[in-house]
Amino acid sequence: MGKLDPYRIREDFPILKRRIGDKPLVYLDNAASTLKPIQVIEAIASFYKEHYSNVFRGVYTLSREATELYEEAREVIAKFVNARSSSEIVFTYNATEALNMVAYGLGMEVVEEGDEIVTTVMEHNSNLLPWMHVAKVKKARLVIVDINDGGELNYEQLSKVISERTKVVTITHASNVLGTVNDLKTIVKIAHEVGAVVVVDGAQSVPHMKVDVRDLGIDFLAFSGHKMLGPTGIGVLWGRLEFLQEMKPFKLGGGTVKEVTTCSITYEDPPRRFEAGTPNVAGAVGLMEAARYLMRLGMEEVHRHEVELLRYTLKLFEEDLHDYIMIYGPRDPEKRCGIITFNLRGLDSYTVGKMLDEYGIAVRVGTHCAHLLHQRLGVEGTVRVSYYIYNTKEEVEYLAESLHDIVGNHCSARYC
Ligand SMILES: Cc1ncc(COP(=O)(O)O)c(C=O)c1O
């Protein structure tokens, strides 16, 4: 495994040949979704061309082949996050569905009136709304831990609010706005001391760094395939087997039961219990290829590359845009994943996003489904740049130059 070469990698991504008007595409919206390499596209096409059928139900060759591929995908994903067994990998529609599965299947069962669910102000709505709902229905309290002014979690407050009443601690591994990477080991230690279950939203960490569920000591992890080179419509819930065995299925239907009588249901063991109906087999096959692609590069290298781009971005922003830019989140690039979020003085985020599009640059603007965090930051929206394996230093320079142009043409005032 050598040093990650973004120029070599770019050759695998057909869409990077696209132009936006007369400009080459500069894709910096990877936290929303990543582009797809030809290996993933071809794996999906080959599944449909050569092995397609439904899974689990057939005794014929094609159905066996499709089932084997689907289960092989589970094995590869188990290896990717270092699960103890592939039975701990549940395929879902996306990270959002995986988080809802835990909230409904576990939260509704273990949380009782007067209990507390601890979460943070930096959560994406997908890890906030399901728990708000559980708290409301069960008459429990949702406790929201704050960040400090540097955009890091307030660990002191976290350790104070976690108590015997805490049943669940549900937290993002990496913020989709600030880029902050939370110290899960510290959080797990505090939570497990009081017997709370730790649920982790890994949507922004799993695609970008080595995430080892056993090393972290967490209880659940949710992530999406489309943010890690895979197709849309496939996500993952990893859970400790003993928890999955106790957890109620959130959706009921075909494939989830061993036996049904008019008065009783015997559910399948995990993970099948949670995968009601025909699953997204082609999605799992594509995700398997995506995970293999990332493992060939090495997740440490993926992270190192993003931190390098981030460090360079912060340097150029500091030099070229100093008085005109407000950057959110930790200044130390080692403390964040490849996300940098900012505002330009006097311009709303939508205007900046539209202007950058004229340069061929794709970024995300608005609240990024993190309303609480934007309220905390006191802003209506932000501009978010997010990197991945195919982004280059030249693209960072082009971004900084384009923002410099925009500032020169449109910003009349400075931050002071
Ligand atoms: C931190 C975080 N959690 C959850 C999600 C939801 O992911 P999905 O829309 O794929 O379910 C996102 C998507 O942006 C995210 O950034």
Is residue 168 packed enough to be buried (19+ CB in 10 Å), middle (13-18) or exposed (0-12)? buried
Which of 93, 124, 226 for mutating ligand 1's site (highest number of atoms within 8 Å of CB)?
124
The phi-psi region of residue 378 (left if phi > 0; otherwise alpha if psi is between -120 and 50; otherwise beta) is left
pLDDT, tens digit (0-9, with 9 covering 90-100), for 60-100: 999 999 999 999 999 999 999 999 999 999 999 999 999 99
Instruction: Report how far residue 2's alpha carbon sits from residue 37's, in angstroms, rounded to the nearest whole number.
Output: 19
Instruction: Report how far residue 68's alpha carbon sits from residue 151's, in angstroms, rounded to the nearest whole number.
Output: 45
| 232 in the same domain as 160 | yes
State whether the beta carbon of 256 lies less than 6 angstroms from ligand 1. Answer: no
Domain membership flag for residue 106 = yes
Question: Given the CA of residue 224, which atom of ligand 1 is nearest to it?
Answer: 10
Instruction: Report how far residue 350's alpha carbon sits from residue 347's, in angstroms, rounded to the nearest whole number.
Output: 8
Question: Given the CA of residue 32, which atom of ligand 1 is nearest to it?
Answer: 14
Query: Which CATH number does the domain housing residue 67 bear?
Result: 3.40.640.10
pLDDT, tens digit (0-9, with 9 covering 90-100), for 245-268: 999 998 999 999 999 999 999 999
Instruction: Report how far residue 196's alpha carbon sits from residue 287's, in angstroms, rounded to the nearest whole number.
Output: 31
Average pLDDT over residues 272-277: 96
Q: How far is the CA of 367 from the centre of ligand 1 (A)?
A: 13
Mean residue pLDDT of the chain comes to: 96
Active site residue 263: no
pLDDT, tens digit (0-9, with 9 covering 90-100), for 278-307: 999 999 999 999 999 999 999 999 999 999
- Which pLDDT value is given to residue 416? 45
DSSP strand pairing (23-24 vs 19-20): antiparallel
pLDDT at 147 over 80: yes
- Which pLDDT value is given to residue 414? 58
| 287 in the same domain as 170 | yes
Domain membership flag for residue 415 = no
Domain membership flag for residue 1 = no
| 229 in the same domain as 334 | no
- Which pLDDT value is given to residue 243? 97
Instruction: Report how far residue 212's alpha carbon sits from residue 79's, in angstroms, rounded to the nearest whole number.
Output: 9
Domain membership flag for residue 58 = yes
Domain membership flag for residue 402 = yes
- Which pLDDT value is given to residue 1? 59
- Which pLDDT value is given to residue 413? 57
Catalytic, out of 263, 369, 411, 416 = 369
Domain with 251 in it: 41-296
Instruction: Categorize the per-residue pLDDT at 2 as very low, low, confident or very high, splitting at 50, 70 and 90.
Output: confident
| 312 in the same domain as 165 | no
Q: How far is the CA of 389 from the centre of ligand 1 (A)?
A: 19
Q: Of the candidates 296, 314, 345, which is a domain's last residue?
A: 296
CB 364 within 8 A of CB 384: yes
- Which pLDDT value is given to residue 57? 74
pLDDT at 320 over 90: no
- Which pLDDT value is given to residue 412? 59
Q: Of the candidates 296, 321, 340, which is a domain's last residue?
A: 296
Who's near 318: CB < 8 A, 6+ residues apart?
none
Q: How far is the CA of 283 from the centre of ligand 1 (A)?
A: 17
Q: How many domains does the chain have?
A: 2
State whether the beta carbon of 126 lies less than 6 angstroms from ligand 1. Answer: yes
Domain membership flag for residue 394 = yes
| 379 in the same domain as 238 | no
pLDDT at 374 over 90: yes
CB 320 within 8 A of CB 344: no
SS3 215: helix
- Which pLDDT value is given to residue 410? 81
Average pLDDT over residues 118-146: 98
Q: How far is the CA of 132 from the centre of ligand 1 (A)?
A: 17
Structure tokens at 393: 């230093």
| 46 in the same domain as 17 | no
Is residue 133 packed enough to be buried (19+ CB in 10 Å), middle (13-18) or exposed (0-12)? middle
Q: Of the candidates 264, 296, 328, which is a domain's last residue?
A: 296
Structure tokens at 356: 């950058």
Domain membership flag for residue 35 = no
State whether the beta carbon of 349 lies less than 6 angstroms from ligand 1. Answer: no
**pTM beyond 0.85, yes or no:** yes
State whether the beta carbon of 172 lies less than 6 angstroms from ligand 1. Answer: yes
Query: Which CATH number does the domain housing residue 397 bear?
Result: 3.90.1150.10
pLDDT, tens digit (0-9, with 9 covering 90-100), for 381-402: 999 999 999 999 999 999 999 9
